[in-house]
Amino acid sequence: MNYTGVREAEVVVVGAGQAGLAAAFHLRRVGYEPNRDFVVLDHAPRPGGAWQFRWPTLTYGKVHGMHALPGMELTGADPDRPSAEVIGAYFETYERTFGLRVHRPVDVRAVRDGSDGRLLVESSEGTYATRALINATGTWDRPFWPRFPGQGGFRGRQLHSSQYRRPQDFAGQRVIVVGGGTSAVQQLLEIAEAAAATTWVTRRPPVFREGPFDEQQGRAAVARVEERVRRGLPPQSVVSVTGLPMTEAMRRARERGVLERLPLFDRLTGTGAVWADGRTVEADTILYATGFRAAVDHLAPLKLREPGGGIRMEGTRTVRDPRVHLVGYGPSASTIGANRAGRAAVRDIRRLLGEGAREGSGASTAEAFRPVSR
Ligand SMILES: Cc1cc2nc3c(=O)[nH]c(=O)nc-3n(C[C@H](O)[C@H](O)[C@H](O)COP(=O)(O)OP(=O)(O)OC[C@H]3O[C@@H](n4cnc5c(N)ncnc54)[C@H](O)[C@@H]3O)c2cc1C
């Protein structure tokens, strides 16, 4: 069927972060041509995925376990430069080298079922009809804000870790940091250097991990998230399965008492927080380092969610719609996981579309795939 005014692409990739670029790389590797057979749509202004928005004090040296994209190493980066700059520049070179032709800024608003077995991807540059969708939209666009009684009446500032920029913004203030993940700890440590006082609040007692996270532990962590996703439950946070890696800076902060933690407060007042046992802490600012949720609202018309609230998956494919792949979601929400998921999704889509290597490309193996020259 021909849709008037609708562009066609065999595959649409939504999102050009680690997961979307890895998928686009593998599409090209097996002979799909960008802008002919597939398109990559991203609503951010620049290359870099969510990295471009990360706070300037998150230097490249502080990023733990960043895996390079397939086919091109990231070498010689200055560990003192913001990771937003380092990874933004690396992604830009990557897109250019492999000719991935990302369309940006293009916002995907909804994906619907078309009438001829294809999906309709509605975006700010028009609608695409496609046979397969690789959704790689990450989580950055959906920061999670917990709700507390009295929150609306708090007279100080409340912000999410995604809005954090630098410790100087908290100079002389009393700050409550909520959350038990890596971002919470990194921001807490920085803020403690500038603030008048900090209070760290977490839902569960944090589990600190000494020593490196080895491959076996990595596999076990991924398997636990996979198991949840297979059962149709929302994926849990990474830190809940990996623990917090103890760094030298954290050891020093622990000695100074910065990492002494309180359980979650019961409610907020105009001037601070109150616990069930009557404890109160006065605060000027509350920082919620409470993580993110998958940014998949545009997939709502496809009704992929299970009663458990999650999207049931088999590998990268959603069980309710085999045309839809989620990469960088749940068990693949890490740089290494995103790489693997991008590859797996492309393999699966070729099977779905019943194709070998694309005609005329001759590029069916990694060895045959070369960066494009422009
Ligand atoms: C602070 C922080 C530090 C981290 N550090 C590490 C680390 O050290 N190592 C590691 O392995 N992982 C780390 N992670 C996890 C990290 O997010 C993933 O590893 C990976 O970078 C995510 O890649 P992605 O492609 O899935 O998502 P993103 O990088 O978020 O890319 C998603 C892209 O989709 C686009 N998009 C979203 N919605 C739409 C839409 N509707 N229409 C069009 N475009 C859309 C966005 O513009 C974005 O470019 C970190 C996460 C955070 C929050």
Is beta strand 261-262 parallel, antiparallel or unpaired with respect to 244-245?
Answer: unpaired
Q: How far is CA 157 from CA 152, 206, 283, 374, in A?
A: 11, 25, 9, 49
Query: Looking at the structure, do residues 194 and 122 belong to the same domain, yes or no?
Result: no
Ligand 1: residue of 40, 43, 90, 164 to mutate (most ligand atoms within 8 A of CB) is 43
Give dist(CA 235, CA 186) in Å, integer: 23
CATH of the domain at 159: 3.50.50.60
Answer for the pair 181, 288: CB distance below 8 angstroms, yes or no: no
Answer for the pair 266, 276: CB distance below 8 angstroms, yes or no: yes
What pLDDT is recorded for position 1?
56
Considering only CA atoms, which residue is closest to atom 38 of ligand 1?
Answer: 137
What pLDDT is recorded for position 239?
61
Give dist(CA 242, CA 91) in Å, integer: 27
Residue 103, beta-bridge partner list: 41
Q: What is the dihedral of CA 40, 42, 46, 50, to 10 degrees?
A: -110
Comparing C-alpha atoms, which of 178, 171, 42 is closest to residue 102? 42
In a domain, 96, yes or no: yes
Give dist(CA 178, CA 371) in Å, integer: 45
* DSSP-assigned letter for residue 223: H
Distance from the alpha carbon of residue 63 to the mean position of ligand 1, in angstroms: 13
Comparing C-alpha atoms, which of 265, 249, 61, 239 is closest to residue 177? 265
Q: Output the six-digit token pair for 130.
A: 């496609």
Overall domain count for the chain: 2
Give dist(CA 6, CA 189) in Å, integer: 51
Count of C-beta atoms within a 10 Å radius of residue 223 = 11
Query: Looking at the structure, do residues 274 and 334 belong to the same domain, yes or no?
Result: no
In a domain, 227, yes or no: no
Query: Looking at the structure, do residues 196 and 318 belong to the same domain, yes or no?
Result: no
Q: 179 in ligand 1 pocket by Cβ < 6 Å?
A: no
In a domain, 191, yes or no: yes
Domain range enclosing 339 = 7-141+292-368
In a domain, 66, yes or no: yes
Q: 288, 320, 342 — which closes off a domain?
A: 288
Query: Which amino acid is it at 15?
Result: G
Q: Output the six-digit token pair for 345.
A: 């999704």
Answer for the pair 83, 54: CB distance below 8 angstroms, yes or no: yes
Give dist(CA 315, CA 229) in Å, integer: 10
Query: Looking at the structure, do residues 88 and 192 belong to the same domain, yes or no?
Result: no
Q: How far is CA 334 from CA 21, 38, 64, 161, in A?
A: 14, 24, 11, 19
Ligand 1 atom closest to Cα of 334? 19
Count of C-beta atoms within a 10 Å radius of residue 111 = 27
Distance from the alpha carbon of residue 80 to the mean position of ligand 1, in angstroms: 21
Distance of alpha carbon 61 from the chain centroid: 19
Give dist(CA 208, CA 225) in Å, integer: 20
In a domain, 110, yes or no: yes
Name residue, tokens 């057979």.
37
Answer for the pair 24, 38: CB distance below 8 angstroms, yes or no: yes
Query: Looking at the structure, do residues 340 and 260 belong to the same domain, yes or no?
Result: no
Q: 50 in ligand 1 pocket by Cβ < 6 Å?
A: yes
Distance from the alpha carbon of residue 328 to the mean position of ligand 1, in angstroms: 8
Q: 335 in ligand 1 pocket by Cβ < 6 Å?
A: yes
Query: Looking at the structure, do residues 184 and 306 belong to the same domain, yes or no?
Result: no
Give dist(CA 312, CA 244) in Å, integer: 28
* DSSP-assigned letter for residue 226: H
Query: Looking at the structure, do residues 98 and 111 belong to the same domain, yes or no?
Result: yes
Residue-level pLDDT, tens digit, the chain, 374 residues: 567 789 999 999 999 999 999 999 999 999 999 999 999 999 999 999 999 999 999 999 988 778 999 999 999 999 999 999 999 999 999 999 999 999 999 999 999 999 899 999 999 999 999 999 999 999 999 999 999 999 999 999 999 999 999 999 999 999 999 999 999 999 999 999 999 999 999 999 998 888 767 777 778 888 888 888 888 888 876 666 778 888 899 999 999 999 999 999 999 999 999 999 999 999 999 999 999 999 999 999 999 999 988 999 999 999 999 999 999 998 899 899 999 999 999 999 999 998 754 544 444 333 334 454 33
